[in-house]
Each structure stands twice: as structure tokens, then as C-alpha cells.
Amino acid sequence: MKQGKRMQGIKTIGVIGTGLMGAPMARRLAEEGHRVRAWNRTPDKTETLREYGIEIAHSANDAATDADLVMVMLSSGPVCDDVLLGDDGVIAHMAPDAILVVMSSIPVETARGQAQAAKAAGVGYLDAPVSGGERGAIDGTLAIMVGGEADTYARARALFSPLGRDVHVGPVGSGQLAKLANQTIVANTIATVAEALLLAERGGADPGKVREALLGGFADSTILQVHGERMLKEDFRPGGPAKWQWKDTQTAQALADELSLELPVSRLVDGLFADMVAHGDGELDHSALIRELRRRNGERPS
């Protein structure tokens, strides 16, 4: 393993959750020279990590015990709470002054509750959700949105450099707010790109050529570039499964309702993803939303 920049005072990193995103993130940390100890609920997902020098823990608590920093990449707020909280949860097994970094996409209030539990145990806490999908995790190009106290962020910041570009956006919960903003833009733009390509196709144009013509113009975006191509090729292998996109649009809608905000476009798109999942496409990439729009227009998706 190469010896990269080590975090000040950080010698061991516990990684909890080594699925689609967590596994490549753990590999990148190990390749930077950090000592990494990993755990996943499905043990098979950790076995391939051994070749990178990553230690395999028998439980989440084992991964966290004596670790200077614990990184969490689990699927949802309830799953995170189940693993982290309680008398026998991860936080209870962390060393005083260790840092807990939750990089899952979870509700704002869930992050704030976890931070309170961590503070009571003398543990630092950051909520640091990411955007960029599996490709970003593999390449180390994730956008990382960090909420928490400035001194905790400063202590942990070198964790993020092998993973992508980090921005400290405010106090605890702010990272999750930024991620909800991100997911709102992503979901709504996927729907818009899908509609535009269908419009071009139904009107008799070559949708691939239309996409090509739009690149570099005011309508260009990463979604048009990457997911527009996926839609045209019908390549829906999951980089970001639709079921998790829907989880985030639901969370955003719940927060908007709590804040008495009317977000009509986002509410409509949330409904599209709900129908997509209900029709059995939840495991496909979120760009497969175009299949749901085809259904609504009387077509049978291939």
C-alpha cells in the first residue's frame, strides 16, 4: 500500500457498510495507506477487500472499537440508527474523542439525533453524504457535503481527499440538506431529460442526434451527458438504484411539508419514481425513469 497523507491523530478507520459505494471508498482509503477495518451485514461483500489489506470485522462494533474514525455508508436512516444507537450500538463502542462520519443519505433530523447521541458519548460527529454514484466512488471524484462543527471537520478532513471534493456547508444536518438539494436537482433533471428525448423521438427526430446537438448549450448537464446516453442505449445497470433515488425524493418531500413549502415539480417527480418502483424497476439505475414515462404514454418498455 502506498503511504498517502494520514489524518492528524487518525491511525485506524472503521468502515461500516461495504456495498455499491462503501466498498470502493474503503479500497481508496486503504490504497492511501490508512489502516482500514470493514464490516458489512452481508459478509460476502467484504471478502474481496482483503486483497487491499483491509481487515474484516465480525461485527459493526468490532469495526468501531478502538478506531480513531468510523465511516458509515449504510442504506437508510433507520438502518443507521439500528446500527449506531442504543446501549450496544456502535457509538457506545467508540473511543472518546473518536469521530463518527455518516456518509449515508438520511433525514436531517436523523443526523441531528445521531449527533446528540455521539456528543453524549464524547464522540465527534459529521454528516457527510455524497453524490457521484458508484463511478465517483471508484474514481475518487465524489461531491461530499459535510455538516458538523468546524473543529471536528478540520480533524477529519483528510478522510475526504481520497474520496472526492468536500465542502463544509454548515452545522450538523446541513450536509443532509445539501444532499436533498442535490437529489432534487438530479431527480427532476432526469425526468426532464427523459421527457425531452421522448418528445424528440415521438416527433420524428433522432433523439441521439438531438442530445448531441444540445451538448455544450444552455440545456447541457451531467444528466444529459451521462444519463441521456444511458436512456438512449437502455443501459440501466445500477450506478444509483432508483429505489434509493425515491427514498431521497420522499425525504425531501417530507421536509418540504414540514417547512410548509410547496414544491410542485419535485412532488410530481417523486410520484414518477414511486410508480417506477411499484412497477418493478426499483433495482434499475435511476435513469430508467424513462421507462415509466414510456408506460404513461402507452408504450411497453423493452
Read out DSSP for 197-211? HHHHHHHTS-HHHHH
Read out DSSP for 44-112? HHHHTTGGGTPEEPSSHHHHHTT-SEEEE--S-HHHHHHHHSSTTSHHHHSPTT-EEEE-S---HHHHH
Is 59 exposed, middle or buried, given 0-12, 13-18 or 19+ CB atoms closer than 10 A?
A: middle
Query: Whole-angstrom Cα distance, residue 182 to residue 145?
Result: 10
CB 97 within 8 A of CB 124: yes
CB 15 within 8 A of CB 22: yes
Is 256 exposed, middle or buried, given 0-12, 13-18 or 19+ CB atoms closer than 10 A?
A: middle
Amino acid identity for residue 125 in this structure: Y
| Residue 5 annotated among the catalytic residues of the structure | no
DSSP for residue 242: H
Kindly name the residue from 2, 11, 179, 233 that is annotated as catalytic: 179
Write out the three cell numbers for 70.
Answer: 468510523
CB 261 within 8 A of CB 224: no
Alpha helices by DSSP H, listed for 73-218, are: 77-84, 90-93, 108-120, 133-139, 150-156, 174-203, 207-214
Q: Which residues carry out catalysis?
A: 179
